[in-house]
A = this chain, B = another copy of it.
């Protein structure tokens, strides 16, 4: 039977292979990929975007291919257990293997690994100290830090636990994280605060207003609050369900480092954090500048 170009485009390796295959670590100037595998993955992604269930017609429209072509790919996905066809409605539905793949992907979801490339790039862009922190059992904890060659000497290093109230990192977790436990910890911090800190956040209403501000602008910024002469800004790292699983923070000497809203540093920080959140599966991540 002759192939027709519309119905059966020949699946092809995008670049020919040869006997000396590259290893995964070797830089490959020319990408070698598999066209029909990509088409299949594209149909799978389209089915997910359509909510996980769709008719053949809707799916073919979504990927801009013929129903005949999409039908063949769907037959392969059914064969592999990634898709099932609903007997009553004839719609194609993501199946149990798709659940297993998603669960395995969630287990690998790690703000440090997902954030490392963005952290390095942000540090290079800003020339400032940048780090990723997660919520540890004692509070926001720095796990991964990148510093400029001539770093401002500040008391932040991998392993440092930061306060919720007086650090930009902590404010991100306090304002955007979940849990009454955070509020109790913030109250304890307030009881131990310096007069200067209490002047910035004099009462519970001021803390509520701060949280609302952080939620509204999507990042936190402090100046000379935790450490005199140091300004910092922090933005949330969110996973697929929106939960804050980490914070990306940049800091520098007040005056040299501009942590104010609308500044270049905050814009780049928020864009970097949004790209990490997208890697972690967060769908609504959009850079806030």
Interface residues of A, Cβ cutoff 8 Å to B: 1-4, 7-8, 10-13, 16-19, 21-25, 28, 31-42, 44-45, 47-49, 51-53, 55-56, 66-68, 71-77, 79-82, 84-88, 90, 92-109, 113, 116-117, 240, 278-281, 283
A127, B47: Cα distance in complex, Å? 38
In contact, B41 and A72 (Cβ under 8 angstroms) = no
In contact, A95 and B47 (Cβ under 8 angstroms) = no
In contact, A41 and B80 (Cβ under 8 angstroms) = yes
**Could you say which residues of chain B place their CB within 8 Å of the CB of A98?**
101-102, 104-105
Measured between C-beta atoms, what is the minimum distance from A14 to chain B in Å?
8
Known: A45-B81, A98-B102. 11 other contacts (CB 8 A): A1-B16, A3-B16, A11-B13, A17-B72, A22-B71, A31-B75, A32-B71, A32-B72, A38-B79, A49-B104, A100-B102
In contact, B102 and A105 (Cβ under 8 angstroms) = yes
**Could you say which residues of chain B place their CB within 8 Å of the CB of A10?**
13
Choose among A37, A53, A56 the residue with the greatest number of B CB atoms under 10 Å from its CB: A37
**Could you say which residues of chain B place their CB within 8 Å of the CB of A105?**
48, 52, 94-96, 98-99, 102
Known contacts being A31-B75, A279-B96, A281-B100, is A12 close to B13, with CB within 8 Å? no
Choose among A16, A33, A41, A49 the residue with the greatest number of B CB atoms under 10 Å from its CB: A41
A17, B95: Cα distance in complex, Å? 26
Counting every copy of the chain, the complex holds 2
A279, B7: Cα distance in complex, Å? 32
**Could you say which residues of chain B place their CB within 8 Å of the CB of A16?**
1-3, 8
Choose among A44, A55, A102 the residue with the greatest number of B CB atoms under 10 Å from its CB: A102
Chain B's closest residue to A110 (CB) is B93
In contact, B279 and A79 (Cβ under 8 angstroms) = no
CB contact between A93 and one of B2, B73, B113, B281 (< 8 Å): that residue: B113
28 residue pairs of the A-B complex, CB under 8 angstroms, read A1-B16, A1-B17, A2-B16, A7-B19, A10-B13, A11-B36, A13-B72, A24-B55, A24-B67, A31-B79, A33-B76, A34-B36, A36-B40, A41-B80, A45-B80, A48-B101, A49-B100, A49-B104, A52-B107, A52-B108, A84-B279, A88-B116, A94-B105, A96-B281, A98-B102, A100-B102, A102-B102, A102-B105
